[in-house]
Structure formats: C-alpha cells, structure tokens
Structure 1
Amino acid sequence: MTTQPAEQETFAGMPTPLYSGSPSRLMAWLDCPRRYRMQYLDRPRPAARPQRAHTSVGIATHNVLRDFWDLPPEQRTPAGVAELVRTSWIDVGFRDPEQSAAWRMRVREVVTDYLRTSDRERQPVGIERSVSLKTEQVAITGRIDRLDDRDGELVVVDYKTGRQVPTDDDARTSLPLALYAVACARMFRRPCRRVELHHVPTGTVAAHEHTEESLERKVAEAESIASDLRRADADYAEVGVESARFAPRPSALCSWCDFRAHCPEGQAQGPEKSDWAGLEPYASTDRRDS
C-alpha cells in the first residue's frame, strides 16, 4: 500500500494559509530580493556588518521617546530627558569617544526641543504598540512608535531621526503607516486615517489624511507583495540559494547594506560608507566623515 506524505494528508483540501509577515519584511523584498533572502531565509544567516552610528542614534532616540511617557508627570522635564538619554545611549559605530559624546548631547537637545511642543499631560493611547492586521490573504504584524487620540480619532505617529526630512508625500505613500492605520482602526474600533512622520531633529511633522479608498489600495498593495513573497519563499524552500527569484537590485542603498560583504554586485556600486557616514554634520571635526 502506498502511503501519502504527511503534509499532503494534513493539508489536502484545506485553504491556503495566510502569508504572515511584517511591513519591514515586505519592504525588504521591494528594496532588494537578495538582501531579503539573506535577512529572512538563509540559515545560518550571513553575518551582518557591525551597527553604524546613525542606527545607534536612532535606537537611543526611540528608546528615550518611549520611556519618557513612563515617567511621572513631574519628571517629564529636561532633566528627566537628560537622564533617559544617559541610560539609553548606545556607544557603537562612532569614530571616537568625542564624536559619541557630542552626539549624545545633540540627542538630548533635539529630544528636549521636540518634546517641548508635545502635550506632556496627555498620555498617548499606545507607545511602541504591537498591532496586527488580517485579510483573506495576509496576516501583518508590526509595531508603531506612538498612537495618539486626537478628538476621538486615532493618529499613527512614526519617529524619524535621519538626515532626510520627510515630506507629506512620504507620509502619503508609506505602506507601513497605512497598514498600521488599518490595523489600529480594526483593533480599537475607532477611526484611524491620519498618519504622521515626526522628524525629531527638526521638529517637522509630515502628515497625510487617508480615505477608506486609499487605505484599501494600500492593503491590496501589501497583498500583492505578499503573493510574490509566497512564491519566492516556496521556490527557496525547493531549490535554495540557486533560485532565480532573488537576483540583487543594485542601487545607492548598496553602500549602506548590512550584507554587502556577501554580494559582489553590491560591492561594485561603489565604496562602502563608514560607520559614522549617516550622521548629520555636527561640528568641524565631523567633516572628515565619508
């Protein structure tokens, strides 16, 4: 008697499972299929380069803005921010101790200035809140930096700390922000259409007010990407790194890629950026950055 494989016995006739992932996973595929493969599929995963300074600054800034709202109201002061920066600081990727110290002071200043414009008495609905969204095709899970209540409607807030100041068009086209808005509306059963990108160094707020139709288009976009990923993941499971679905997508991002050492096409795009190249010019001593 022929015995059918257990997988066929278990799944024959059952609906196709939802594709599970995060917005970051979807965006990694769009940026570069090879980087996606190395980051999410290869096991053991290829060694990534050490963390850069701008990543350390970004993580520390996010952690301070997270922990600030756990402080008692009377400690939500510049001194309270300074202590959070001190305890949250990540001294990795900087050129030297002097550059690290200068950036720690800068982060303390910009976070303090940013929070001066916030209503420190109004507690956000969520801080680094995990949210999830299910459709007939996908199950998306992610974490939002902040969720506000503005006159009964929810607003998704994402912090940005890099050199580039985001625009309203960046907020409008952001797939993760739109998915978070849909997820929050369903989870809290309250309207959530406004998404904002807060550039902490400048205090700039880029925003977009979605419609039901624009949110539906973003969900459809996520489902389309997930459909591609489902096929790519299945192909990888069958043939591994020989799959033709994971061709590199060379671009200016290659100079910053954590997996550049494993990609000849990426290395051909130009020299690798230094550990501190992503920092904004801070002082005359920083002009040596490249």
Structure 2
Amino acid sequence: NDPNRLEIKENFDKKLRSHRPPGPAVQHLHYDTQTAEADAVADIISKRVEAGAYRYRDFAILVRGNRDADAYLTSLRMRDIPYQFSGSRGLYRRQEVRLLISLLQVLFDVDSSEHLYNLLSSEVYNFPMADLNRLLARAYRLNVSLYEVLSDPEVFAEEGETRPLSPEAQATREKVLEDLRYLVEFSRQRPAGMVLYEFLERTGYLARLARGEASEAETKIQNLARFFDIVRAFSNTAPDDQVPHLVRYLDLLIEAGDDPPTAPLEPGLDAVNVLTVHKAKGLEFPVVFMVGLVKDKFPSRRRSDPLELPDALVREEVPSGDIHLQEERRLFYVGMTRAQQELYLTSADDYGGKRTRKVSPFVLEALDRREADITPRKSDPIEVIRRHRTGRGVATPALEKIPESQPLQLSHMQVDDYLTCPLKYKYIHILRVPLRPHHTIIYGKAIHEAIQEYNRRRQAGLPVSYEDLLARFEGAWRNEGFLSREHEEQRLQTGRESLRRFYEREQASDAVPAFVEQEFAFWQGKNKITGRWDRVDERDGQVVIIDYKSSEVRDQKKADDRARNSRQLAIYAIAYERLYGRWPDLLELHFVDTGIVDRTEPRPRKIEKTLEEIEQAARGIREREFSPTPSEWDCRYCPYNRICPATETQV
C-alpha cells in the first residue's frame, strides 16, 4: 500500500514465515450492537477455557483506545472471568484512584457533593444506596450540599417524614463523619501523601486489598501505588505539599489533559489481558481479539495538529498519500501480528448514536471482503435481558509459576525479603503495596546521597567541601514520616554532625575510590543476581568493598556480628569474584552516625550458605509460594504489620 517502503525501494523480502504449523483462518465476527459483540467475545473465551484448550492468560483483547475497553470489561465481569486491564491512559478514571481524588477534594471542600457522593458509595463505606439517594435528593430540594444534609442529626425528622435512615445508614453516617473530622485535623501539618495513607489504613481498605478480599485487588493495589508515585513526585518538588495544594495540582494536571497509564500487565497472572493496541507492541498471545473494528474507531478520525510543520522544515522526505491512514494501517498490522495461534476480528453496527457504523476498511483489506457481504449476527431477546445479570464477583486470579527455563532477576533485597517472610516479598515486589513514609528511610536516603556526592568527587579528583555534602544532604531531605517537627529537626542535626565526622575522617585518609555506586550482575543457574556496590577501594594491592549504613550501631561487637552474618556483603563478594576472577580481600560496613567500621573477609562457609539461600528464595518465588512466616521479631519491624492478617496475633 505504500510505495515508499524500504522493501519496495530496495527489494527486501520482509515476508513473515511462521515456525508453527498452519492454524485456523482469521475470523471476522460482526454483531448488531457493541454489547452483543462484547458478550460474544467473553462467551468464546469462557467456552475455550472450560474445554481445556487454553488458560485465561492465553487471551488478549486489544482495543483502540482506553475508553473502548469498558463494554468488554463489563462482559468479562458478568461472566466472572478474571482479567487485567492495562491502558496507555486512564489512571485517574480507575475506581480506586477516583476514591482517593474524591477524598482529597472533600478534605479540601466538604461541600463538594459530587466527590462526597463518590466517597460514600465506594467499596470503602458502602453507604446503603437507597438512603444515599434520599440524602442527595433532600440536598437538591433544600439547595444545600450533601455534607450539610449528612451532618444533620435530625435528617428526615422534619417536613412530615416518617421514614428515618436505616440503622446501617446511621452507623455508616457516623463512621464517615468521624473519619472526615479526624482526617481534616490529621492533615493540619502533614503532607498529603501521609493523609492518604492514613485513610487507607484507618478504614481497613488497604488491608482488605492486601488480603485479596476485594474484586481486582492486586490490580487496584498497583494502580494505587502508581497514584502514590504521582503524589510523591509532587511532594519532592512542591514548597508546600499539604492537601489543598495537591488538590490544585491534580486539578491543573487533569485540566491540561494529563492521564497517566494504568498498572502494567503482570505476566504471570492467569487472567485475560485487556490492553490498547499501542500497549501490545512487543507482546504476543496465543489468541487475540481485535475489537471495535469500525470506521472512525479504527482507523480513527484524523486530528489536525495544532501547529502544522511546513514541509520545507521537514528534513526527511514526506511520504505521499494520507499519512494518518498509513499510520493507522501499520498499527492495525501490529495488532494482528500479536496473535500466535488464533486471531478474531470483531465489529458491530451500533456503538451508540443514531447512525449505523461501517466495518473498518482494514478488515475488508485483510480478509479481501466487501462490505455488502457482511451481515450482523442478531441478538436473541432473551439473551439481551440476561446480559444484565450480576456476576458472582471476579476472583483474584492466581499467579502462574515461573518455569526453570525462564530467567529470574533478583536483588539482595528481594532475597532478604523472601527469606524473612514470603508474604512480605509479595506485598513489596509483586503487589507493590504503598507504604507510609518512614523517617528512617528519609534520613538514610539523604545521608547516602551526600556520601555518594563525596565519593564521586573524590574518585574524579575534584575538590569537595563539607558545605557541598551538607547541600546535597539537605537537598535530598523530605519532611515526611517524622513524629513531630522537633523530631525532624533533631534528625537533621544528627545528620549534619554525622556528615561532618565522615568528612573529617575521609579527608584524613589517602584512599581514593576505584568504583562508586557501581552496578553488577551475575548468574546463579537461571537466576540473575543484580545490585550495586556503594564503594570499592584498591589499597596496596587489596580490594575492599564498602557498604554504608545510616542505622545507629554503638557497640563494636554488634557491628562485628552484622558484618560476619551479612548476606548482602556475601553477595557483593560473590559478584566481585564472578566479574573479576578474584575474591575481595575485605568487606567493610561503615556505620555513618557512630563512625564504627567493621571488617570481615569472605568466608567459604558463609559464601556457600548464601548461594544456598539464593537458590531457596528463587525456588519459592518461582513456585509462587507466598505463605507468611510470622515471628515476633520480624513482624514487629515489618512495615506491613498493620495490614497483614498473619500478624494480627503477633504484634
């Protein structure tokens, strides 16, 4: 279709040749309505899985845009088919993210009835809908906000009303008002991210998601984590990161058209994959449904650029013809070639609106058919009614095991987390459950960045002053997670003093780093172990690996024990030997606050044990074995001890 293609100009043969035997022909299914189309796709998937031909994860539904996915997600839910949706946009429209945005809006302006309604009707509060609608109707009649009606203890006791709120609604009403009063006061001197986390924890919503008690729990957690990343980015740059300022920031982002992508697909999840064609690039699935294939959807309507670039300013030769149509055709080709075994092209006459939609010209081109040859499949009236039945609820799909043939990448932190508690590993590295900011993390990160600045300059032979370290330390500082303003000032002062002592010690030394923040990777079987050394020195022919710690250790014996038993240092030693063919001579832990330094040598028994532990963690992760292993000590210091069911009797 395009004479400017390289294979035409240079006579290249780009014909695709499959290594698999021939499969079934491409099928085009055309229906009278989009609902019928979506239901048919769900039915095909359900029957193929029930017959044992495929698993849910083998299917992909490709949509042209994020908003096009709604009908197909609804049909999957109605049939209790597990799915995961990943769009190139749409994070702010996700139910769990809208919940947090509504909370922020209500804390900023309690008279925002729309957002309060969203909050009350959410799965967090589940306010009885009959009572909620009565409250909203009363607010409309009185021309007041929903909050004003909700906070009136005598609601429905006037104007001849004989039906009070139900007991469930009264109890929920009191809970909501109590939570809002508490959170408004809680937000007085705290960052917005901390307020959001307090809400998730106080209401038990995060715990329910972590236990998988809500529909699409794992996907919701990942989308919440993405939203918290946005909040954290705001906190890192805004001079004031309290609730009112975050609300204004989000309003401006949304007004400007910002709409971040939802959580990416989890490859090991046994669920139908629903994603946009753009997000499908580079992926393959045994069975692919390309849906909504009608004119003006795919190809989409051409939108003219706000600022057209004159042809004279374009360095490359502009292809002749309709460039937009050519791009859409290439995208259609991308979608078709995602299928490994079976490909379905689906369309419908009615997607809402008055006019009947025409089948995409790309479908006609691909199948060499005419529009007149296509007749829609009519919906049975009984089936139309049954489409509105309620599903039992989509269960959280199980993670598929990772085969031994597939490489698995692990860091020392992942190995540590898994061996400490497999469920902790799942919360951190698979579900990515958001964490409340903790002052030890803020402090440690700021100290580490200051030391990194010193070591990099020392390695490059550049001058470095204590003021340089202090500027980097204070620039990396975040006022999150501290117990009070006084506590924060105390930790700031401790950091300044610790860095001064560090600077004086290092300036008195002749040692120059050979490596600073050097990344490494080595293979242990099919497991790729990755990490980075804080610092590596070469002193008089000896190799010394240094790791800095910001935790307070004042006892030399305790420091000695930590170094000798450190799995992290053992992994660092193994990495050096694998990469450079020799063992490091010394492994050192430098405790920055106290100045204590502990030195140990790579010991064969510790190295052997560490390799066994890597294999043990890798086996469990591959088997998707995430049962908790609670202990009083580990649970006490676990960041998830307030949401993990296994710690309820341990902490």
1:247 corresponds in structure 2 to 628
In terms of Rg, which structure is larger? Answer: 2
Report the AA paired with residue 47 of structure 1.
P
Whether 1:160 aligns to 2:549 is yes
Query: Is this contact kept in 2: 1:181–1:193, CA < 8 A?
Result: no
Percentage of pairs with the same residue: 24
Unpaired runs of 5+ residues, structure 2, are 1-20, 24-52, 59-284, 287-339, 341-402
* C-alpha distance in 2 between matches for 1:68 and 1:62: 10
Cα offset, 1:213, TM superposition = 5.7
Aligned match of 2:513 = 124
In structure 2, relative to structure 1, the CA distance for the partners of 1:251 and 1:101 (3 Å cut) is: same
Q: 1:132 deviation in Å?
A: 1.1
- Residue 612 of structure 2 is matched in structure 1 by 220
Partner of 1:51: 437
Alpha-carbon distance, 1:24 to partner:
0.6
TM-score by length of 1: 0.75
Question: Taking CA–CA contacts closer than 8 Å with sequence separation of 6 or more, which of the two structures ends up with the larger relative contact order?
Answer: 1
The alignment partner of 2:501 has SS state of helix
- The 2-side partners of 1:220 and 1:263 are apart by 28
Q: Shift of the alpha carbon at 1:248?
A: 4.0
Shift, 1:152, TM fit: 2.4
Alignment pair present for 1:199 and 2:591 = yes
Is residue 133 of structure 1 aligned with residue 522 of structure 2?
yes
Superposed displacement of residue 106, structure 1: 1.4
Per the alignment, residue 571 of structure 2 pairs with 179
Shift of 1:38: 1.4
Partner residue of 2:49? none
Match in the other structure for 1:277: none
Report deviation, 1:74: 6.6
CA–CA distance in 2 between the matches of 1:51 and 1:249? 23
Instruction: Give 1:37 deviation, angstroms.
Output: 1.4
SS in 1 for 2:650: coil
Change in CA separation of 1:2 and 1:268 when aligned onto 2, cut-off 3 Å: farther
* Structure 1 Cα separation of the partners of residues 515 and 601 of structure 2: 20
The one of 622, 636, 642 aligned to 1:230: 622
CA contact (8 A) 1:185 1:191 kept: yes
How far is 1:172 from its partner?
A: 1.7
Paired residues in the alignment total 252
Task: Note if 1:26 corresponds to 2:415.
Answer: yes
Q: Report the alpha carbon displacement of residue 19 of structure 1 after superposing the two structures with TM.
A: 3.0
For residues 41 and 117 of structure 1, what CA distance do their matches in structure 2 show?
41
- Rate the CA distance shift 1:221–1:96 in 2: closer, same or farther, 3 A: closer
After TM superposition, which residue ranges in structure 1, 4 or more long, deviate above 6 angstroms?
1-9
The 1:173–1:256 alpha-carbon spacing in structure 2 relative to 1, beyond 3 Å, is closer
Opposite residue 147 of structure 1, the aligned amino acid is: V
d(CA) in 2 for partners of 1:263 and 1:224? Answer: 23
8 Å Cα contact 2:521/2:530 also seen in 1: yes
Please give the per-residue CA displacement for 1:88-133, whole angstroms capped at 9, x wherever unaligned. 2222111233322232121111122123222565431222221112
Deviation at 1:56, TM superposition (A): 0.9
The TM-score, its normalising length taken from structure 2, stands at 0.36
Alignment-derived partner of residue 488 in structure 2 = 100
Letter of the 1:46 counterpart: V
2:639 aligned partner: 258
- Match of residue 453 from structure 2: 67
Indicate if the aligned counterparts of 1:128 and 1:146 stay in contact, CA closer than 8 A.
Answer: yes
Alpha-carbon distance in structure 2 between the residues aligned to 1:215 and 1:27: 15
For 2:634, give the aligned amino acid. Answer: L
One-letter amino acid of the structure 2 residue matched with residue 229 of structure 1 = I
| Mapped pair 1:112 → 2:500 | yes
SS in 1 for 2:506: coil
Aligned-pair RMSD on alpha carbons?
Answer: 3.0
Whole-angstrom distance in 2 between the partners of 1:139 and 1:31:
20
Separation of aligned partners in 1, 2:605 and 2:634 = 32
Unaligned runs of 5+ in 1: 236-244, 271-290
In structure 1, what is the Cα distance between the partners aligned to 2:419 and 2:632? 12
Partner amino acid, structure 2, of 1:105: Q
Describe the SS at the equivalent of 1:167. Answer: helix
